[in-house]
Structure formats: structure tokens, C-alpha cells
Structure 1
């Protein structure tokens, strides 16, 4: 029962709560509706106010745009009127100019008509004058023909023959004058060329400092005491024979105190023998087996030294890309001599002279230096041949890939090949300068001068020889003969006879070229 009551009371409470909730919700909803009505009314008022303001602004803007449009229209109208006025003005001016141009053309046409009439009158008068001139010309030609016929009768020549004779005489006179002028130009060019050549050669010689070197065919080996001579000779001379057999050098052991003489034409062999003896004497063990061992070691050392000398020489001269065999040959020149002049010193001096002279002449100084250094490599071959040293040197240079100009310069420096390049005569001249200067070779100054005089006197002793000159340090003899006494055929015979006599009667280095010169000069003086 009590539970039932509780349930009834609960249901009643819930019903009361629902009723009160509905009442409250209705009251709140009414308030919200009233608030929304108020906001709506306010929004309508704001919209009306904004609409009124927009209408007012639109009216104002419309009035302003209308005013601007009116002003623009007025402005465009005034500009249009100005353009119309200017166009009208130009049209009036062009019409005025057209009228004036028409008037001027009319006046010019009338003037042209007058000039045409005048020109026709002048043309008629000129035609009449031309007819008169033609008549006079015909009369003159007739008179000229009659005059020429009379002259031909008097002179006995036709006009063509006389004209030909005049032309021939003028040609001869012009040819003579041209020959005189040509001779004067040639003489002037020769004088200037010789003067310039002498200047270049003198400057080249002055700029090159060279040594005076004299090599002998013997070397003196000094000893500490004469007791060592016995050790060098050995029992029954076996040691000295072993040294001579191993080195190819003759040992002269005489009464000279504390000295042994090494004799050989080859300086390289003498140097090997000298160094070998020095090692043997310092070591104290001197017997054939030891001698062969030391000589072999010394020979290898000398080969290394030769290569080092060659490399140092080409570096000092600024020569690059030289074949190793050619470098070795350059080093071997240090131990060779030519008529008492050290071959390497001579080649270095020639190379420097060639470089300076080539630079003075505007040629390639490096190529000239290269040819100057290698010009005598034919004197230091590995194997002896029948070729001259110039031709052999050219062959070796060509074999080891040298420039054709260098090959030609080497082969032609004694005129055994034809000179094909400009540097070839430079090499020949510098070789002569280096070998012919006093002190360069063993021959002293007085002997050199005497040899040159004997060479010239030998040539002048022949009948018909007018003058004889020894040039190129005595390597060439130029003989000038009298043209009236010696003919062309006799010149060949005379050259051969002089060369044979020099070969049989004189002692000289190298070779001598004999050149016989015969010329006929016709000299006349105009006073």
C-alpha cells in the first residue's frame, strides 16, 4: 500500500514538473520572439537609412559625371574646330602652291620651246661647219700624201721604213740607258750589302768571347817517384804491354824524371789511359788482370762523362729535342781536336756565332745554333767511313731526324752539297770565322799569313793571271785572269793546274777551292 502511494506521488510529481517546464519554455519562447521582432524592426530602419544615403550619393555622383561629360564634350568640340581650321588652311596653301607651280611649268615649257628652236638652229650651223671641216681634212690628207711621196723620193725610204728605223734607234738608246741605270743600282746594292754584311760579321765576332785552345797529341802523366815506373812496366814489360793493349795508347817511359808520356792521336783514348793509370798507381795493385778491369771501368765512366758533357752543352746553348746519339757525339767532341783546336769549343763558338748572325738577319736563331753545334759531328763517328766529315755529318743528322735545313747546312759547310736553305751560308761563314781567327788553331799568326801569301803567289806565277785572292781563311782561291790572254777553255785548264800544284806543293788544312774568273769589260767615257 505504501509502495503504491509512493508511486502515485511520484507520478504526480512528474506531471507537475512537465507542466511547469512547458510553462517556462513557453514564456522563454515568447521573450525570444519579442526580441527578434525588435531586432527585425531595427534592421529595417538601418536598411532604409542606408538606402536613402545610397540614393543621395548616386544623385551626387550622377551630377558630377554629367558635368565632366559636358566639359569633355566642349573640349573635344574646340579641338575638332581647330583641326578643321588647320586643314582648311593647308588646303588653301596647297591650292596656292599648285597654281604657282602650274604657272612656273607653263613658263618653263615656253622657255624649252625657245631653247629647242635655238638648238636646232645651232645644229644646222654645226652641220655646215662639219661639212667644211671634212672638206678641209680631205684636202689636207691629199696634200700630206703628196708631201710624204715627195719625202720618200728625196730620202729613198718609205714611211714605214723610216718609222721602223726611228723605233729601233729609240729602243737602242733606251736599252743602253737602262743597262747603265741597272749597273748603277747593282753596284749601289752590292756596296750597301757588303757594308751591312761586314757590320753584322764584325758585331757577331765582337759579341762572342772565345778561348785560345791548343791540344797536343801527347799527355804527360806525373808520378810521385821514379820507382813507380818499374811497377808500371812490370816483369818483362807485361804490365805496360797490357796497358797499351787495353787502351790503344803508347806509353813512353824514358829518362824524364817522375813522368810518363801517353801518346795517341785520339784524346779520348789518352784520357782513358790517364785515368786508368791514376787509379792503378793509387791502388798499388798493377797486374794484367787488374789493368783490364780498371780500364773497362774507366771506359764506362768516360762514356757517362761524355753523355753528361753533351747534355750540359745542349742545355747551355738552349737546344732541345736532340737525339741521344747526337748528344753523345757532342760530348765526344770534348776529347777531339781539329788542327789543334778543341772540337767542342769550336762547335760551341760556331753555334753562338750562328745564333747571333741569324738573329741579326731576322732568321731563326735556335735553328742556326742547332746547325752550328752539329756541323762537325762527322768528325766523331763510331765507325770510320770513306765519306768526308761534312757528308757523314749530314747523313747522321738525317738518320736521327734533324730538320732538313740543319742537314743541308752540315753537308754544305764545305761546299760538298748544294746550299738549299738560307742558314747554310751562315754556318759556313761562322765555321770559317771560328777556325780562321788567330789563336784558334795551332798555326800561329805569322805562319797563317805566310800560307795565305804563298797561296796567292802560286797563282800569280801563271801567265795571264792578273790578280789572286785567298779568301775564307785560305779555303778558297779566287784567280782573276786577263780576258785578252786567257780564253774560256783555258780558264778550266788553268783552274785544274793550280789545284794540282797546290795539292802537290803545299800543306794546308781541309780543302781549297780554286775559282778562275774571266770577264771582258768595255769602258767608255762621255765627255
Structure 2
């Protein structure tokens, strides 16, 4: 029993020892797991510190890069500003230099003028002295002639003039009658044939232009937006474009009024862009007006180039081409001036071809004959003279310049092509529908012509014919002589020029009937 009890106790002891050992191993394992967890936490902390350190390092590098780029941008802006300031200073210096040169040139010219003035005064004195000597010599010769001929100066003069007058009058009358008889037989047929052929070759359509443009609006509410608060928008548009904007009861529309077609077109395009954009305020208005103005300048150049292509002209100065294109937006009595100029070029070329003249010269003169109308608001003078002076600046041929300046009889013709340009201009302007004129103003113009003619002494009646392009005046032959009739024609023409406005030119014809009666016995 004691043996079995000892064995049992031993077994129980062993079990207790094994249990304690197992528990210890479990405890050791738990302790080891706790240690591993602490190591991982420590490693994580170390890693986190490294990440933070790296992030701070990268942030510092990024900050330095940004600062460097900012410094570079500031430096570039500074360089650009200094460059612009330098350019502006150079421009100012150049302008000052030009002004200085001009002042020196003016001073030199004044000195030369003063010297010439002194020289002219001296020459004038010498001429007066010589004139006195010549006059004394003439008087001496006249006295001697009177002594030899036994006739006074007035008697000899009257006798000589009387003989010459009788002889010349007879010969001139015979020659004139013969010439008129021959000319009358052929001139009408030739003129009709040439003009009908030329006009047939240059047939074209007309669209009457006006001095107003209409801009359609999506709704009437847009009128208020165009006007703007206290009218600031409409004032801005009018001041930037130079166009009058009329906003009335017309539904969904505003009217633009200006005699300058370019300004009117700039305003029209700008308003349409504003309506399309929807943002209507002074800043946007200025932006779109400038944009429209650039577009118009491009269109003007294209119009000038297209006109040259249409009539087949090459080799023209770019500034002349650009100015020619501006005629697209210029009207005269409702007639588009560029369309009119193209037709005049074709008519003049066809007339020249029919008559054997220089067709290219006539064509060039016809295309450029009204170019001065673009510039006549800048210079107070006739558009024909302005156009000629403008073409001289850019080296245009002198015969073309003469055709431009002479087409309203303000200078003498130097070539037959200049006469053909004037004829083509008259044909183009007088075509049915070419120019717009109300019936009342037309009748008033005719009445004014007849009243001007009747205001002169010796006029029995007057008739405005050829749609107001000619005034025929019948005078009393007992009151007005032939010489006085020629003077009267000039005075009537001058009074018409001073008191009336009309397209083209008006021919003044004075008719004086002379009757000679004799009886054969």
C-alpha cells in the first residue's frame, strides 16, 4: 500500500511538475509575444519618424524650387519692363531728334525764303526800271508811226481791227459751217454705237446703299441692356465708334446712323458680338469694338485686292489698295463708290479699246478716280484734287493722276484717257437706278437751275434738260451780244457751283438767234 501510495504521490508530483512546466512555457510565450509587439511598435515609430523627416526634406526642397521659380519670374518681368522702358525712351529720343531736324529744316527754309525775297525785290526794281524804259520807247515809236502814217493811234488800230474782223469772221463762219455739217452727219451715229457697245460690255446691277444700318435684337429687353445703367453702355459705344445709336419704338431693332460707312459697320459688328456674348458692359464693349475694327481693316484690304482682281490691274502700292478698299463703305447719292469705281474702270477701258487709246491707263484711272472721297473729310478740298495728291505720294503714273484730277474739269486734260475716264464716270452715274434722289429734291433742283438762269439780264427763257445735267438758256439777241453770251455762260456755271449741290457736272448752253434780212431787187 505504501508502495502504491508512493507511486501515486510520485505520479501526482510529476503531473504537478508537468503542469507547472506547461504553464511556465505558456507564460514565456506570452512574454515573448509581448516583447515582439513592443519591437514592432518601436520599429513603426522609427519608420514614422523617417517618413516625417523625408516629407519635411521634400517640402523644404519644393519650397526652395518655388522660391527660385518666383525669383526667375520676377527677374523676367523686370527685364521685360526695363526693355519696354528702353524702347519707349528710344522712341521719345527718335521723335525729339526728328523734331530737331524739322526745326533745323524750317529754319533753313526760312533763311532761303528771306534771301529769295531780297533777291526778288531787287529783280522787281530792275524790271520796273526796264519796263519804264520799254514804255518810253513804245511811246516814242507810236509818235513816230503817227507822224509817218498821218493817222492817230486809235484810228490806225480801229482800221486794222475792222479789216481783220471782217476777214476772219467770214472765213471762220464758212469753216465752222462746213465742219458742223460734216460732224453732224457722223457724230451721233458714232457716239451711239460706241456708248451702246461699251455699256453692253460693262452691264452690272446696282444696290442702293444708305447712311443707316439696322441691328436686329432677340427681344426688346436687349434695348435696355444696350442702353445700360444711366446710359453708360450706349454712351461708350457711341464714343468708341463715332456712330449715333437710335433706339425708338421699332420692335426688336436698333438703328445706327453715320455718314462714315466704316464706323457704322464697326458699330454694327460690335453690337452683334455683344448680343451673342451676353456680357454687355464698358470693358467688354471696348474689347469687341477693337476686335471689330481689326476685322474691318482686314475686310477693307481684301476688298481693295478683290477690286484689282476684278478689273485685272497689277502692281499697285499697298497703301493705295487699302485706301481703295475703304470705298466699299462709302456711298455717293446712295451709290456704292467702290462698285461705281469698278464699273467706271471697265467702261473707260472699253471706250479706250473702241477708240484705239491706252485701255490699261484708262482702266487704272477709272478705278482710282474717286479715291479722294475716302480722304475728303480729312482735307478741305475737291475729292479729285485730293485723290491726285494722294496718288503722287505713292509714285502713281502722272497720266493716271491727271485722269483722277481732271475728271471734274478742275485741271486741264493731258491725255485722251483722262477724257474717257470723265465720260465713263458720267455714264456710270447717270444710269437708271444708279443714284438715289427723291422726286421732290429732283424737281427742286431743276427749278433752282431755271431760276438761276432767269436771274441774268437778257434771258428770255431757260429749260433744265437731261435729268438736270444741262441747262439751256435762250437770250434776247438785241440785249446780249455773242461775246457777252460767252461771259454769261461762265457766270451762270459759276453761280450754279456756288449755290447748288449736285452729282457729276451740269452743262450750260446759251442759245442766241441772229437774223439777217435782205431783199434782192
**What TM-score do you get using the length of structure 2 for normalisation?**
0.61
SS of match in other structure, 2:321: helix
C-alpha distance after superposition, 1:219-277 (max 9, x if no partner): 11001111222221112111111111111111112222111111111111110001111
**Would the alpha carbon gap of residues 304 and 495 (structure 1) be closer, same or farther in structure 2, given more than 3 Å must change?**
same
**Would the alpha carbon gap of residues 382 and 389 (structure 1) be closer, same or farther in structure 2, given more than 3 Å must change?**
closer
- 2-structure distance, mates of 1:491, 1:179: 17
2:294 corresponds to 1:289: no
**Would the alpha carbon gap of residues 246 and 461 (structure 1) be closer, same or farther in structure 2, given more than 3 Å must change?**
closer
C-alpha distance after superposition, 1:279-334 (max 9, x if no partner): 11111111111111111111111001100011011011101111111111211111
Aligned-residue offset at 1:348: 1.2
2:425 corresponds to 1:431: yes
- 2-structure distance, mates of 1:419, 1:517: 27
State the partner residue of 2:161. Answer: none
2:404 corresponds to 1:421: no
**Would the alpha carbon gap of residues 242 and 426 (structure 1) be closer, same or farther in structure 2, given more than 3 Å must change?**
same
Q: Which one of 316, 319, 323 corresponds to residue 322 of structure 1?
A: 316
2:238 corresponds to 1:247: no
2:478 corresponds to 1:484: yes
State the partner residue of 1:459. Answer: 453
Root mean square deviation, CA, Å: 3.4
SS of match in other structure, 2:209: coil
Aligned-residue offset at 1:402: 1.7
2:365 corresponds to 1:364: no
Q: Which one of 343, 346, 361 corresponds to residue 349 of structure 1?
A: 343
C-alpha distance after superposition, 1:436-462 (max 9, x if no partner): 222111115786477446634653575
Aligned-residue offset at 1:501: 6.1
Q: Which one of 198, 206, 211 corresponds to residue 205 of structure 2?
A: 211
| Cα pair 2:429 2:504 within 8 Å, conserved | no
Q: Which one of 377, 386, 396 corresponds to residue 380 of structure 2?
A: 386
**Would the alpha carbon gap of residues 429 and 472 (structure 1) be closer, same or farther in structure 2, given more than 3 Å must change?**
farther
- 2-structure distance, mates of 1:388, 1:472: 25
| Cα pair 1:218 1:263 within 8 Å, conserved | yes
C-alpha distance after superposition, 1:405-443 (max 9, x if no partner): 211111111111111110111111111111122211111
- 1-structure distance, mates of 2:294, 2:396: 28
Q: Report the count of equivalent residues.
A: 355
- 2-structure distance, mates of 1:278, 1:177: 74
C-alpha distance after superposition, 1:82-106 (max 9, x if no partner): xxxxxxxxxxxxxxxxxxxxxxxxx
C-alpha distance after superposition, 1:327-381 (max 9, x if no partner): 1121111100001111111111111111111111111212111111110001002
- 1-structure distance, mates of 2:463, 2:189: 19
Aligned-residue offset at 1:485: 2.2
| Cα pair 1:432 1:472 within 8 Å, conserved | no
| Cα pair 1:438 1:444 within 8 Å, conserved | no
**Would the alpha carbon gap of residues 488 and 187 (structure 1) be closer, same or farther in structure 2, given more than 3 Å must change?**
closer
SS of match in other structure, 1:199: helix
State the partner residue of 1:226. Answer: 220
State the partner residue of 1:443. Answer: 437
Aligned-residue offset at 1:505: 7.0
- 2-structure distance, mates of 1:493, 1:519: 17
C-alpha distance after superposition, 1:29-80 (max 9, x if no partner): xxxxxxxxxxxxxxxxxxxxxxxxxxxxxxxxxxxxxxxxxxxxxxxxxxxx
State the partner residue of 2:295. Answer: 301
SS of match in other structure, 2:283: helix
Aligned-residue offset at 1:383: 6.4
| Cα pair 1:438 1:445 within 8 Å, conserved | no
- 1-structure distance, mates of 2:411, 2:179: 32
Q: Which one of 248, 266, 282 corresponds to residue 260 of structure 2?
A: 266
**Would the alpha carbon gap of residues 430 and 452 (structure 1) be closer, same or farther in structure 2, given more than 3 Å must change?**
farther
**Would the alpha carbon gap of residues 340 and 523 (structure 1) be closer, same or farther in structure 2, given more than 3 Å must change?**
farther
**Would the alpha carbon gap of residues 384 and 357 (structure 1) be closer, same or farther in structure 2, given more than 3 Å must change?**
same
- 1-structure distance, mates of 2:204, 2:295: 29
- 1-structure distance, mates of 2:386, 2:213: 29
SS of match in other structure, 2:191: helix
- 1-structure distance, mates of 2:465, 2:404: 20
Structure 2: tracts of 5 or more residues without a match: 1-165
Structure 1: tracts of 5 or more residues without a match: 1-171
**Would the alpha carbon gap of residues 388 and 296 (structure 1) be closer, same or farther in structure 2, given more than 3 Å must change?**
same
SS of match in other structure, 1:215: coil
State the partner residue of 2:367. Answer: 373
**Would the alpha carbon gap of residues 300 and 521 (structure 1) be closer, same or farther in structure 2, given more than 3 Å must change?**
farther
**Would the alpha carbon gap of residues 480 and 323 (structure 1) be closer, same or farther in structure 2, given more than 3 Å must change?**
farther
| Cα pair 1:213 1:341 within 8 Å, conserved | yes
| Cα pair 1:213 1:441 within 8 Å, conserved | no
- Bigger shift: 380-389 or 437-446? 437-446
- 1-structure distance, mates of 2:204, 2:362: 18
**Structure with greater Cα Rg:** 1
Aligned-residue offset at 1:504: 7.8
- 1-structure distance, mates of 2:345, 2:311: 8
| Cα pair 2:446 2:468 within 8 Å, conserved | yes
- 1-structure distance, mates of 2:359, 2:305: 20
| Cα pair 2:376 2:382 within 8 Å, conserved | no
- Bigger shift: 287-296 or 200-209? 200-209
